[in-house]
Chains A and B, each alone.
Chain A
Amino acid sequence: MLFNSLEFLLFLAVVFALYWRLRRKGQNTLVALASYVFYGCWDWRFLSLILLSTVVDFVAAKRMEQSTGGRRRAWLGVSLAVNLGLLGVFKYLDFGLASMAALLQALGFQVSLPVLGLILPVGISFYTFQTLSYSIDVYRGRLRATDDFIAFAAFVAFFPQLVAGPIERATHLLGQFHERRRFDPSLAADGCRQMLWGIFVKTVVADNCARLVDPAYAAVGEQTPAALLVATWLFAIQIYADFSGYSHVAIGCARLFGFDLMRNFAYPYFSTSPAEFWHRWHISLSTWFRDYVYIPLGGSRVGPLRHRVNVVITFVVSGLWHGAGFQFLVWGLYHGVLVAAQWWRARSAPTWPAGRGVIPELRTLVGMLVMFQVASVGWVFFRSADLADAVTVFARWIAPGEGTWSLASFRATVGGGGAIALGAATLMLAVEWLQRDRPHGLDVAQLRRPTRWMLYAAVGIVIFALGRREVVPFIYFQF
């Protein structure tokens, strides 16, 4: 059940209609049931994994709270083992076996390790991290274990953010399930606007970019360097539009039910440095790794060299979280080195990126363009099917052959469907530039209602006219 589907809109309408007629416990039960129905539409077989993760963490946290010392650690170990075990088996086992076989063969051993071909359950990387944060926070004493299993089940499986985040912390979201929610019309209306903006950037921007990116990256050896460059730029836009679009719908949808989810994107392409970029990109994951990997490693409370090593380790682990493949490892390493190299300039992201003016200062503009290129280089690893493909892309750029950088080849690449993709991307970036002090591009509560409604209608028409009709799943579903 994709967010940009009639099926989901109907589902949402039914759940919304029932939800506000129930008391708090009934609402939690409804959310839990609806979330399981929502997930079951993807693949009902994997509901058992969510239930397992939920039960284990619920019980482990209760036991942790009631015990001390070694037993407390043991219960944390149970939670870590189950959640990381699920991830390990479903996400990394085949990769590990294949890598092991390749290594042994390189060392001269003739071995044949079985490849299990397990399907990666959608959303497993997200909900396991969410439940892990609960167990770890209870262990650390930052949070009391909950007695309310239904509230906890609803927290783990909360359908707006179940399959691709934002990865919520129990300290932020679980408490909201314990409290009475009040319907706030202005927040709910803004939630609808945010959902509309999310569907626009997903169906019009991301999916039209995918039309050009997918064929180019399916056969990188056959592309001209110009085509690969355009495809890489478009992928940079695509992945941002795709994932931020999902996050917008998730956050907006949660608002309809009185929940506040954390912001996941804060206009990352208006950043002027890698550190700022990572303060703005996939914020829920970045802060998760900061709190549960980087700080336990020592964070910045160690020597300068060790501090940089901690940064690199955190990014490498983050890279591997995205996918079982060496290309993701290199992607994480690349960003880790970039951030570590200029960590002293790190600062928290300002609310208003790149200054307040409509026209940016030249220095800021150059900084943003350079950062976009730096991020795009990383996306080559991220988008390539494997490391060999990524190397091929760079090789094509370094030794392109005669005439392949000409403007004609750019036009040949961009022509046709490229015009829609580039136009949509430009529109999205322009709107977000003007709205960059606000949480999303369609945050227009200050306008009069007729103007607002005409604006929504215009966005709807653009979605109807230019959105892609083919099913293009959200990129982060595969993680």
Chain B
Amino acid sequence: MTSAPSPKLPDDDVRASNALALRAVAFAALFAVIVFGVDRLADWGARRGLQLLPHVPARELGRLRAAHGHTAFLGDSTVIYVPRRGHATAATEVGTLPLYRLLAERLDSEVPYLARPARAPHHLAAELDFLRESGTRPTAIVVAVNLRSLAPDRQLRPGVHDGALVAMLRSGLTLPVRGVSVLQYRFGADSPDEYAQRRFRLPDGSSAGVVEVDQPEGPPDSWSDEVVRRRFLLRYAAPWREPEQLLRLVDALTRIGAETDIPVVVYLTPLPLERYDRLLTDQDRAAIDTNLDALRAVLDVPGTVGLDLSRSLGPDDFVDAWHTPGEHMTHDARQQVTDRLVDALGRARELRRRP
């Protein structure tokens, strides 16, 4: 087929396409204003208990505001975990209470459901900043910091990264942040494909893919001790990707400590270190200690009480399957932690009463 000779550049087309582009920009500007207005309206409703936006991120702000006048227990799944029927390793675990409910019983006050699975230090920092800046005043704040939450495979996992939440808490905007999330802006998280191809480095310098380490072939019961050890190391001993998250948490705690009189307890969650100790080399133990030493920075913030529970429990106090090292505790262990938290809260209140 012969092609027609190229005509001159059609100025009409350029002008008309520019006009459409301008209209699109004008609409985008108007839309931004409308989105902002709807967002403020939803926020106004949320402050009065009216949930206008029926989705999780909008509820995140509401749930934090709900801590006003109660004990705010921020943390990850170790705070809210309770075995479901069929998942409990012992029949006696079924029907037991999660940590935040045990604490509520001991304090005889309300401890709202605020924790979320896989909360990392930057989430906790954003939540603390939001509480402080929004004028929400809990009677006390307990912050659970889990070493696992800084593991590189956890930090980049698309489902739990939740950078949108951090952006939302920091900006106070829900609808715009959610909107760009719908348009696949990932706030620094990997896409599922990128994540599947990531390779992480273990403490001995060896590189291991997530799939290789976390999802070995064959049924879990058949996995060797070496496979379990590598999974354990990826969780607790691997070099962190974003150590600056700890600084953000320290900064948020410092501000809470300095600018409010709220009693604050920060604790490192118990870890199953003793349970897997027989698999570890001296180099592995040193790598875990290095990470724990860095993590302890959050325990020394002025105006707060720090509690290191990382080595406080024994090998039988954890309920996760052997091949999936985890920090979820038995009911007895949760009660032990509750005792320590009640004691620490008493000290934190005492600290706040001092002139």
A192 touching B182, Cβ below 8 Å: no
Query: What 1/0 mask marks residues of chain B from 1 to 34 whose CB sits below 8 Å from any chain A CB?
Result: 1111011111011101101110110010011001
Docked-complex contact B20 and A144, CB < 8 angstroms: no
Mark contacts of B63-99 with chain A using CB atoms, 8 A cut-off: 1 yes-contact digit, 0 otherwise. Answer: 0000000000000000000000000000000000000
Chain B residues whose CB sits within 8 angstroms of the CB of A25 once the complex forms: 3, 6
Q: Determine whether the beta carbon of A151 is less than 8 Å from that of B3.
A: yes
CB contact list, A276-297 vs B, under 8 A: none
Q: Are B182 and A203 in contact (CB under 8 A)?
A: yes
Given A178-B1, A420-B54, A463-B179 contact (CB < 8 Å) = yes
Which of A16-24, A89-97, A229-237, A391-399 is the contact stretch? A16-24
* Complex Cα spacing A465 to B51, Å: 12
Interface status of A146 (Cβ within 8 A of chain B): yes
Is B126 close to A, CB under 8 A?
Answer: no
Decide if B184 is an interface residue (CB 8 Å cutoff). yes
Which chain B residue shows the least CB distance to A181? B13
User: In the complex, are the beta carbons of A20 and B13 less than 8 A apart?
Assistant: yes
Assess the B12–A183 pair: CB atoms within 8 A: yes
The docked-state distance in angstroms from the alpha carbon of A450 to that of B337 is: 60
Closest to A143 in B: B1
- CB–CB B17/A16 < 8 A: yes
B31 neighbours in A (Cβ, 8 Å): 456-457, 460
B1 touches A464 (CB 8 A): no
The docked-state distance in angstroms from the alpha carbon of A181 to that of B179 is: 34
- Closest B residue, CB atoms, query A449: B23
Residue in B6, B30, B175, B183 with the greatest tally of chain A CB atoms within 10 Å: B183
| Residue of A2, A13, A185, A192 with highest tally of chain B CB at under 10 A | A185
Bound state CA distance, A310 and B53, in angstroms? 53
Q: Are A185 and B20 within 8 A (Cβ)?
A: yes
Secondary structure call for the B interface: helix
Q: A182-B13, A453-B27, A471-B191 are in contact. Are A23 and B6 (CB under 8 A)?
A: yes
Q: How large is the interface on B (under 10, 10 to 19, 20 to 34, 35 or more residues)?
A: 35 or more
The distance in angstroms between the C-alpha atoms of A456 and B35, with both chains bound, is 12
Closest to B17 in A: A20
| In contact, A456 and B20 (Cβ under 8 angstroms) | no
Is B181 interfacial (CB-CB < 8 Å)?
A: yes
Complex CA–CA separation, A463 to B38 (angstroms): 13
Report A-chain residues with C-beta under 8 Å of the C-beta of B192: 471
Beta-carbon contact of B182 and A188 below 8 Å: no
Is A464 a contact of B178 with CB atoms below 8 Å?
A: yes
Whether B34 lies near A457 (C-beta < 8 A) is yes
Point out the residue from B1, B6, B20, B21 that lies within 8 Å of A24, measured CB to CB.
Answer: B6
Closest Cβ neighbor of B54 among chain A residues: A420
Residues facing B in A164-192 (CB within 8 A) are 175, 178-185, 188-189, 192
Q: Residues of B contacting A2 with CB < 8 Å?
A: 184
Report A190-226 CB contacts with B as 1/0, cut-off 8 Å.
0010000000000100000000000000000000000
Contacts of A145 in B (CB 8 A): 1
Q: For chain A, residues 413 to 440, give those with C-beta under 8 angstroms from any C-beta of chain B.
A: 420
Q: Counting CB contacts under 8 A, is B223 at the interface? A: no
Q: How far is the CB of B42 from chain A (nearest CB, A)?
A: 9
- Per-residue contact bits, chain A 48-59, to B (CB 8 Å; 1 contact, 0 not): 000000000000
Give residues 448-479 of A contacting B (CB, 8 Å): 453, 456-457, 460-461, 463-471
| CB-nearest residue of chain A to B34 | A457
Segment touching B, from A3-11, A66-74, A352-360: A3-11
When distances are taken between beta carbons in the complex, the residues of chain B under 8 Å from A460 are 31, 35, 179
If A456-B27, A466-B55, A469-B178 touch, whether A24 touches B17 (CB-CB below 8 Å) is no
Please measure, in the bound complex, the distance between the C-alpha atom of A464 and the C-alpha atom of B178, giving whole angstroms. Answer: 6
A464 in contact with B179 (CB, 8 Å): yes
Max chain B Cβ within 10 angstroms of own Cβ: one of A5, A145, A183, A469: A469
- Whole-angstrom CA separation of A6 from B177 in the bound complex: 13
CB atoms of A183 and B16 under 8 A apart: yes
Supposing A5-B183, A6-B185, A471-B184 touch, asked if A24 and B7 sit within 8 A by C-beta, the answer is yes
> Looking across the interface, which residue of chain B has its beta carbon closest to that of A258?
B13
B182 to chain A, nearest CB (A): 4
Tell me if B180 counts as interface (CB < 8 A to partner A). yes
State the CA gap A22–B9 with chains docked (Å): 7
Interfacial chain A residues near B20, Cβ < 8 Å? 183, 185, 188-189, 192
Q: Compute how far the CA of A457 lies from the CA of B178 in the bound complex, rounded to whole angstroms.
A: 16
Q: Please give me the residue from chain B that is nearest to A17 by CB atom.
A: B21
What residues of chain A lie closer than 8 Å to B1, measured between beta carbons?
144-148, 175, 178
**Is the CB of B164 closer than 8 A to any CB of chain A?**
yes
Give the CA-CA distance A203 to B53 in the complex, in Å. 16
A-B interface, 7 closest residue pairs, ranked by CB to CB distance from nearest: A464-B179, A467-B182, A5-B184, A20-B17, A183-B13, A469-B181, A23-B6
**A residues at B contact (CB < 8 Å):** 2, 4-7, 9, 13, 16-17, 19-25, 144-148, 151, 175, 178-185, 188-189, 192, 203, 420, 453, 456-457, 460-461, 463-471
Binding site for A on B (CB under 8 A): 1-4, 6-10, 12-14, 16-17, 19-21, 23-24, 27, 30-31, 34-35, 38, 53-55, 158-159, 164, 175-176, 178-185, 191-192
21 contacts between A and B (CB under 8 A): A2-B184, A4-B182, A5-B183, A6-B185, A17-B21, A21-B14, A22-B9, A23-B7, A175-B1, A456-B27, A457-B30, A461-B175, A464-B175, A464-B176, A464-B178, A464-B182, A465-B55, A465-B175, A466-B54, A466-B55, A469-B178
Beyond the given A178-B4, A189-B20, please list 19 additional residue pairs across the A-B interface where CB-CB is below 8 A.
A19-B17, A20-B13, A23-B6, A24-B3, A145-B1, A151-B3, A175-B1, A181-B13, A183-B10, A183-B12, A183-B16, A185-B16, A192-B20, A457-B30, A460-B35, A464-B175, A464-B179, A468-B182, A469-B182
